[in-house]
Amino acid sequence: MKKIFSILVVIILAIAALGNIAMAQEEVTLLWGMWGDPAEIVTHQAVADAYMAQNPNVTIEIWSQPWGEYFTKIDTLFVGGDVTVIPDVFFMSPVQGRAANGVLQNLDQFIEESGMEVGDYWPGTLESTSYEGSVYGFARDIGIEVLYYNKDHFDAAGLDYPTDEWTWDDLRAAAEALTVQEASGRVSRYGLAMEGGKYSNFVVSNGGLILDDMFNPTQCTLSQPEAVAGIEFFAGMMNDEIAWRDANLGQAGGDLSVFLGEQTSMFIQNASRVPALNAAGVNYDVAAVPTAPGGTRSAGSANGAAWVMSAMTDTPDAAWDFLLFLQSPEGGQAVYGSTGEIFPPTRSGAESPVFLNPERGPEHKEAWILGAESANILRDGWFPEWRELQGTLIDPVLTSIWAGEAQPADVLPGLCESVDAYLVEHGYGA
């Protein structure tokens, strides 16, 4: 009897093992959502192919939309409630509004049970993808900006190349020297191109803030001296015609377009422009973004579009495994990093041979690492109403400043009054 019982135990265990193998090999389809142009989707497909090669039982189907339609369409899918058409894993930025709506999966338990090492992320990165203390996403990359510059323009002007120690004074002096104005008065080349939306770089570098607390604000702080001075510096370069006006820059095709067209000598942007510059063979390099004179605060932004999981997915374990792959320096980060188009959200990814590859420009990639060392969460709001507040109240006033139609000191106090009233109306503030 004992022998028969032992045989039965072995058979049962074998069947259980076979069952586990069968479960492990169960066919799974994950719908993966993101925005992007066709070239970007090619890279995403390469990531999907790499994952499927390691996991032959998983099929990754891509659901992509143009940026301008993405958020409306994905919200519509959630309203419809059909889990078969809602992406299991998808791109989101910011995460707070939709986390508050309950459509995103809280990832705390997955992180704890998997033993995932979160200490590898750059400062502020996980905070930027959290809501009420819980993690709801993982940044694919973070938007650390650098100062791109055309080395040929600097050489022709007899100027030294930018260094990581540059301040605003150095930036302005170089922009003045590099700006080319024709006899008619028309500027054919500006010293600097920078999107108006990056104004917070100057505000935060100077010790200023947009709001007193970017998670749970009580008041607007853009009218305080440090913030006003940062905005005045940026607007002053536009008014003095040594930097592109924001609206004109957009009409000209953006910073990459005017840099490739030699209509600017410098621009401030994240890593997304690297592949195009390398493909075009531009003689360029990068340096850390200049800081305020005497300033000690880095203005590197920890913000980045995040991969999130749908709260309605019926394959959460498979979705989690794919999320881990997307974050892995040997997985998704290796594919994205190989093109140079992102700055990795983790130290291990940024210090890897893939990102630091000396055979791929620019030469001084350490400029991104310098910015990431003290990245912060002070340049964006991390509460559900931030995008509405920014779009309806803050941006219109700043647009008038960038256009030269208003002076910062004249209009920022009134803006803060409007913002404070909005905060009170929405349950924030005093």
For the chain, 430 residues long, give each residue's pLDDT as a single digit of tens.
Answer: 333 334 323 333 333 343 344 335 689 999 999 998 887 899 999 999 999 999 999 999 999 999 889 999 999 999 999 999 999 999 998 899 999 999 999 999 999 999 998 999 998 899 999 999 999 999 999 889 999 999 999 999 999 999 999 999 999 999 999 999 999 999 999 999 999 999 999 999 999 999 999 999 999 999 999 999 999 999 999 999 999 999 999 999 999 999 999 999 999 999 989 999 999 999 999 999 999 987 666 677 877 789 999 999 999 999 999 999 999 988 998 998 888 888 999 998 899 999 999 999 999 999 999 989 878 888 889 898 999 999 999 999 999 999 999 999 999 999 999 999 999 999 996 6
The pLDDT value given to residue 298: 65
Examine the domain organization and report whether 262 and 155 are in the same domain: yes
The pLDDT value given to residue 15: 30
Examine the domain organization and report whether 336 and 200 are in the same domain: no
Our CA dihedral for 222, 226, 230, 231, rounded to 10 degrees, sits at 30
Examine the domain organization and report whether 248 and 273 are in the same domain: yes
The pLDDT value given to residue 338: 87
* Full residue range of the structural domain in which residue 155 is found: 146-299+385-425
Rounded distance between C-alpha atoms, residue 203 and residue 225, angstroms = 10
Q: Does residue 331 form part of some domain?
A: yes
Q: Does residue 127 form part of some domain?
A: yes
Please name the amino acid found at residue 354.
V
Q: Does residue 184 form part of some domain?
A: yes
- Looking up residue 363, the CATH number of its domain turns out to be 3.40.190.10
pTM greater than 0.85: yes
How many separate domains does the chain show? Answer: 2
Q: Does residue 198 form part of some domain?
A: yes
Task: Give, as one character, the DSSP assignment of residue 391.
Answer: I
Examine the domain organization and report whether 118 and 159 are in the same domain: no
Q: Pairing mode, if any, of strands 187-193 and 264-269? A: parallel
Q: Does residue 268 form part of some domain?
A: yes
Strand (E) positions, 129-288? 130-131, 134-135, 138-139, 146-150, 180-181, 187-193, 264-269, 284-288
Examine the domain organization and report whether 192 and 61 are in the same domain: no
Examine the domain organization and report whether 334 and 416 are in the same domain: no
Examine the domain organization and report whether 277 and 182 are in the same domain: yes
Q: Does residue 378 form part of some domain?
A: no
Q: Which residues contact 247 (CB under 8 A, 6 or more apart)?
A: 399, 402, 403
Q: Does residue 417 form part of some domain?
A: yes
Examine the domain organization and report whether 133 and 70 are in the same domain: yes
Q: Does residue 379 form part of some domain?
A: no
Examine the domain organization and report whether 389 and 290 are in the same domain: yes
* Helix-strand-coil split of the chain, %, nearest 5: 45, 15, 35
Examine the domain organization and report whether 86 and 171 are in the same domain: no
Examine the domain organization and report whether 68 and 127 are in the same domain: yes
Examine the domain organization and report whether 254 and 351 are in the same domain: no
